[in-house]
């Protein structure tokens, strides 16, 4: 496997705090701990070393992330290793961030941090992070842990549970095949419950963040209101290829997109999770832009924002929905919108 190895200015032997603003650079050679690490690897090699000052990373995060992503592409990288960062906070956070870049590009990321390093909690779900001691004198042990794990992956072996392999629990879920069928497991679990025997639920209840709702609108007749739908109403032909399930985007449309008239929309339903017959006959049933225009005319609302926002809610996971919500709010706020009406199915 081809590996990108990330270290900071200190471990690259450039300098200490005084070099914390060292700008990101890529070297097609082994640097610092990369020498020992590479010698421990079978079937893999470090093809590029990325070095960055801890402060430079934090203050130029977007640019640095872009450069690392480009390097992953350019060097045909299969796997990314960052650190070990022990208890160094800024370095640990940078390592975590590098791991997330790898994760976002569907590459395995491996790192090693002390359990109290702030980078661990923020980034643990994106990588296989191994425990280290507080101090850098644990370097050889930490590198050994990383190398052993990487060697196992490069042989094509499956990755075991955290308890088996030694990495910190990531808190993410992956598909597996169990020994017994779901039906057998369900009956076993029912019996255990009735007979007061111990059992383990396969999905613990998630804890949701408590969202504080915004204050109610005092006077709707003075407010610009936008219309959003997760019901997947798009212009006929679905020009933006909105997916019918697990939609990867939200799209802005206006009256023109639908043929020039919100009262008679040239549209179709692309949401795959409900009966589309009624929405296909009259899109206003799901996207009541006609009603919004009327409410504006009657000054019930101050103004109907000219664009509508469309996505498909079918099978959308909470994280993605949160991300979309944040992005859409930013856009609407920049357009002076103060309230939204959201329709679903």
Partner 1 sequence: MEKMSLNLEIIVIKDACFGNKTYIENGVLSINKEELIEEVKDLRFASIDFDIAKPGESTRIIPVKDVIEPRIKVETKGMFPGIFDNFSYCGIGTNKVLRGCCVTTAGKIMGFQEGIIDMSGPGAKYCHYSKLLNIVMIADPIEGLEPKEHEMAIRHMGLKASLYLAKAGLNVKPDYVETYCKEYVSPERKLPKIALAYLVMAQGLLHDNEVYGFCSRDIPPLLMHPNELWDGAIVSGNCVTASDKNTTYDIQNNAIAKELYERHNKDLEFCGMIVSPISTILEEKERNAMITVNLASQCEAEALIIPQEGGGNPEADLMLICECAEKRGIKTVLMLHDHPGVDGTAEPMINTSPLANAIVTVGNDSAQILLPEMEKNIGHREQLNLLSGSPSDCEQKKGSIKVGVSVIMGSTNNLGINCNSTEEI
Q: Rule CB under 8 A: which residues touch partner 1? A: 103, 125, 159, 161-162, 169-187, 189-191, 193-195, 199, 201-203, 205-206, 208, 241, 243-246, 248, 270, 272-277, 314-315, 317-320
Q: Which is nearer to partner 1, 27 or 193 (CB)?
A: 193
Residue 96 CB neighbours (<10 A)? 27
Question: Which residue reads 């919500």 in tokens?
Answer: 325
CA–CA distance, 127 with 186 (Å, rounded to integer): 32
Helix 61-74 and helix 89-104, axial crossing angle in degrees, nearest 10? 50
In the complex, least distance from residue 312 CB atom to partner 1, rounded to whole angstroms: 10
- Give the C-alpha separation, 34 to 45, whole Å: 10
Q: Which is nearer to partner 1, 15 or 166 (CB)?
A: 166
CB of 294 to partner 1, least distance (A): 27
Looking at the Cβ atoms of 194 and 212, the one nearer to partner 1 is: 194
In whole angstroms, how close is the CB of 105 to partner 1 at the nearest point? Answer: 11
Instruction: Quote the least distance from Cβ 130 to partner 1, whole Å.
Output: 14
Say which residues have a Cβ less than 8 Å from residue 174's Cβ, sequence separation at least 6: none
Residue whose token pair is 């997330």: 100
Half-sphere exposure of 335 (CA within 13 A, CB side): 19
In the complex, the smallest distance separating the C-beta of residue 168 from partner 1, rounded to whole angstroms, is 10
Token pair 């022990």: residue: 86
Least distance (Å) between residue 159 CB and partner 1: 8
Three-point CA angle 148, 153, 157, nearest 5° = 110
DSSP strand pairing (233-235 vs 128-131)? unpaired
Q: Tell the smallest beta-carbon distance from residue 96 to partner 1 (Å).
A: 14
Which residues lie across from 225 on neighbouring strands?
A: 304, 339
Closer to partner 1 by Cβ: residue 198 or 216: 198
* Residues recorded for the chain: 345
Name the residue nearer to partner 1 (CB basis): 135 or 282: 282
Q: Which C-beta is closer to partner 1: that of 243 or that of 290?
A: 243
| DSSP codes joined into one string, 23-86 | PPEEESS--TTHHHHHHH-SS-EEEEEEEE-HHHHHHTHHHHHHHHHHHHHHTT-SEEEEEEEE
Q: How far is the CB of 166 from partner 1 (least distance, A)?
A: 12
C-beta of 21 vs 274, nearer to partner 1 = 274
Q: Closest CB to partner 1 among 200 and 298?
A: 200
CA distance 48 to 31: 9
């Amino acid at each position: 496997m081809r590996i990108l190895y990330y270290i900071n200015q200190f471990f690259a032997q450039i300098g200490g705090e005084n070099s914390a603003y060292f700008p990101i650079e890529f070297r097609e050679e082994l640097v610092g701990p990369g020498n020992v690490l590479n010698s421990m690897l079978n079937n893999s090699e470090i093809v590029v070393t990325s070095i960055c000052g801890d402060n430079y990373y934090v203050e130029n995060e977007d640019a640095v992330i872009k450069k690392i992503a480009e390097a992953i592409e350019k060097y045909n990288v299969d796997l990314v290793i960052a650190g070990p960062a022990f208890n160094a906070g800024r370095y640990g956070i940078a390592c975590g961030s590098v791991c997330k870049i790898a994760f976002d590009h569907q590459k395995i990321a491996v790192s090693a941090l002390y359990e109290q390093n702030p980078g661990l909690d923020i980034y643990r779900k994106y990588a296989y992070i191994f425990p280290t001691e507080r101090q850098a004198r644990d370097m050889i042990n930490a590198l050994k842990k990383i190398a052993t794990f990487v060697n196992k992956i490069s042989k094509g072996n499956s990755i075991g549970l955290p308890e088996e392999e030694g990495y910190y629990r990531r808190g993410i879920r992956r598909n597996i095949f169990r020994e017994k069928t779901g039906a057998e497991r369900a009956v076993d679990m029912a019996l255990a419950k009735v007979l007061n025997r111990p059992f383990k639920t396969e999905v613990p209840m998630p804890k949701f963040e408590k969202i504080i709702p915004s204050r109610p609108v005092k006077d709707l007749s003075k407010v610009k209101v936008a219309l959003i739908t997760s019901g997947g109403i798009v212009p006929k032909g679905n020009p933006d290829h909105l997916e019918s399930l697990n939609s990867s985007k939200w799209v802005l449309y206006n009256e023109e997109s639908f043929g020039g008239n919100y009262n008679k929309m040239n549209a179709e339903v692309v949401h795959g999770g409900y009966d589309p017959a009624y929405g296909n006959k009259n899109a206003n049933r799901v996207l009541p832009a006609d009603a919004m225009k009327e409410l504006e005319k009657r000054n019930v609302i101050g103004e109907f924002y000219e664009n509508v926002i469309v996505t498909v809610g079918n099978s959308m996971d909470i994280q993605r929905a949160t991300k979309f919500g944040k992005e859409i709010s930013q856009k609407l706020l920049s357009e002076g919108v103060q309230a939204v009406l959201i329709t679903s199915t």
